[in-house]
Chain A
Amino acid sequence: METILVLTHADETGSALTKASLETVTAGLELAARLSAPLTIGIITVDATAAASALSSTGARLLAVSGEAFAQARYASDAAAAEALCRAAKATIVLAPGTSRFTRVAAGVTHRLGGFLDTHITALGGTEAIEATRWFYRQRIEAVLSRDARPWFLLLDAGTHAAFAGEHGAAPVEQAAIQLPRLRTTVSGVRAPEQGQQTIRPDAKLLFVAGAGWTKKQHDGQAHPAEAGKLILGFLHATGASLGSSKSLVDQGGEGEPVLPFLTHMNQVGQTGATPRHAKGLSTCCHGEEPHVVGWRFVGERRAINLDPNCGWARGKADVVYVADAFEVMGKVNAQLKAAKA
Chain B
Amino acid sequence: MANVFDIVVCAGIVPDPLQTLEPVTGPAGPGVKNEMVLPAVLDPWAASALYEAANLVAKNPGSKLWLVSLGPKAKLQQVMMTVAQKVAFQLVPVDGPIGGFPDAHSTATVLAETISALPGLDKSKLLLFGGWESATRGAGVTLQLVGELLGITDQFQGVDEISPRDDGSFEVLERVEGGKQQVSVCAGAPAVLGWATGNLAEPRNNPQVGMANMRTIMPALARAKKVTLDANGLHYVSTSLPKQQRETRVVKDLTPDQIAAELVEWIGAE
Chain A residue numbers with a CB within 8 Å of B179 are: 192-193, 198-201, 266-267
State whether the Cβ of B249 lies closer than 8 Å to any Cβ in chain A.
yes
Q: Cβ of A147 and Cβ of B180 under 8 Å apart?
A: no
From 115 to 157 in chain A, residues with beta carbon under 8 angstroms from any chain B beta carbon are 116-120, 131, 135-149
Decide if B153 touches A190 in the complex (CB within 8 Å): no
Whole-angstrom CA separation of A107 from B103 in the bound complex: 13
> Cα distance A323–B264 when bound, in Å?
17
Q: Is the CB of A137 within 8 A of B154?
A: no
Query: How far, in angstroms, from A314 to B242 measured CA to CA in the complex?
Result: 18
Cβ proximity bits B145-159 to A, threshold 8 Å, 1 near / 0 not: 101110001111110
Instruction: Check: A164 CB closer than 8 A to any chain B CB.
Output: no
- Measured in the bound complex, the distance between the Cα atoms of B200 and A233 in whole Å is 26
Is A219 interfacial (CB-CB < 8 Å)?
no
A116 to chain B: which residues have CB within 8 Å? 103, 105, 232-234
B178, CB-defined interface residue at 8 Å: yes
B164 CB–A CB distance under 8 Å? no
Residues of A within 8 A of B182 (CB): 72-73, 100, 187, 189-191
Cα distance, A150 to B264, chains bound together (Å): 51
CB-CB contacts below 8 Å: A149-204 with B: 149, 181, 184-193, 198-202
Report B95 CB to chain A, min CB distance, Å: 22
Cross-chain contact B267 with A108 (CB below 8 angstroms): no
- Which of B14, B20, B197, B240: most chain A CB closer than 10 A? B197
Give every chain A residue within 8 A of B17 (Cβ-Cβ): 138, 271, 290-291
**Contact between A303 and B145 (Cβ–Cβ < 8 Å)?**
no
Stretch in A60-68, A84-92, A327-335 with 4+ CB within 8 Å of B:
A327-335
A141 x B180 contact (CB < 8 A):
no
Q: Count of chain A residues with Cβ under 8 Å from any Cβ of B?
A: 100
- Tell me, yes or no, whether A104 is within 8 Å of chain B by CB: yes
Q: Interface residues of B, CB < 8 Å — how many?
A: 86
Q: For A146, list chain B residues within 8 Å (CB).
A: 234-235, 237
Residue from A181, A272, A289, A305 with most neighbouring chain B CB atoms (10 Å) = A272
Q: How far is the CA of A79 from the CA of B192 in the complex (A)?
A: 14
- A255 and B153 CA atoms in complex are apart in Å by 37
**Complex alpha-carbon distance, A200 and B256, angstroms:** 27
Closest to A301 in B: B266
Question: Assuming the A-B contacts A100-B158, A108-B147, A200-B178, are A144 and B238 also in contact, with contact meaning beta carbons closer than 8 angstroms in the complex?
Answer: yes
Q: How far is the CB of A20 from chain B (nearest CB, A)?
A: 8
Known: A119-B140, A254-B201. Is A107-B177 also a contact (CB below 8 A)?
no
Contacts of B254 in A (CB 8 A): 322, 324
Of all chain A residues, the one with the shortest Cβ separation from B158 is: A100
Determine whether the beta carbon of B178 is less than 8 Å from that of A198.
yes
Question: Closest CB-CB distance, A158 to chain B, in whole Å?
Answer: 8
The docked-state distance in angstroms from the alpha carbon of A148 to that of B157 is: 29
Chain B residues whose C-beta falls within 8 Å of the C-beta of A186 in the assembled complex? 184-185
> Do A185 and B138 touch across chains, with their CB atoms under 8 A apart?
no
Contacts of B103 in A (CB 8 A): 116
Q: A188-B183, A320-B251 are in contact. Are A333 and B240 (CB under 8 A)?
A: no
A62 CA to B200 CA, complexed, in Å: 46
B21: which A residues are within 8 A, CB to CB? 137, 140-141
B140, B144, B248: the one contacting A321 at CB < 8 Å is B248
**A340/B186 contact (C-beta < 8 A), A100-B158, A146-B237, A193-B179 known:** no
Is the pair B197, A137 in contact by a Cβ cutoff of 8 Å? Answer: no
Q: How far is the CB of A225 from chain B (nearest CB, A)?
A: 19
B260 in contact (CB, < 8 A):
yes
**B141 is an interface residue with CB less than 8 A from chain A:** yes
B137 located at the interface, meaning its Cβ lies under 8 Å from any Cβ of chain A in the complex: yes
Inside 8 A of B137's CB, which chain A residues have their CB?
Answer: 136
**Does A216 interact with chain B (Cβ within 8 Å)?**
no
A145 and B138 contacting across the interface, CB-CB below 8 Å: no
Most chain A CB atoms below 10 A, which of B137, B156, B196, B256: B256
Task: List the A residue with the shortest CB-CB distance to B239.
Answer: A143
Do A147 and B235 touch across chains, with their CB atoms under 8 A apart? Answer: yes
The residue on A at minimum CB distance from B143 is: A107
Instruction: Output the least CB separation between B195 and chain A (Å).
Output: 11
Cα of A119 to Cα of B138 in the assembled complex, Å: 9
- A287 interfacial by beta-carbon distance below 8 Å: no
Instruction: Give chain A nearest CB distance to B73 CB in angstroms.
Output: 22
Chain B neighbourhood of A314, CB < 8 A = 248, 250
A74 to B256 CA separation, bound complex (whole angstroms)? 50
Residues of B within 8 A of A297 (CB): 242
Please determine whether B263 and A142 come into contact, CB atoms closer than 8 angstroms.
no
Q: List 7 A-B contacts (CB under 8 A).
A: A72-B182, A99-B177, A140-B21, A142-B240, A192-B179, A324-B256, A325-B256
A-B complex: 8 closest residue pairs judged by Cβ atoms? A200-B179, A332-B260, A107-B144, A254-B201, A148-B233, A149-B233, A265-B197, A291-B17
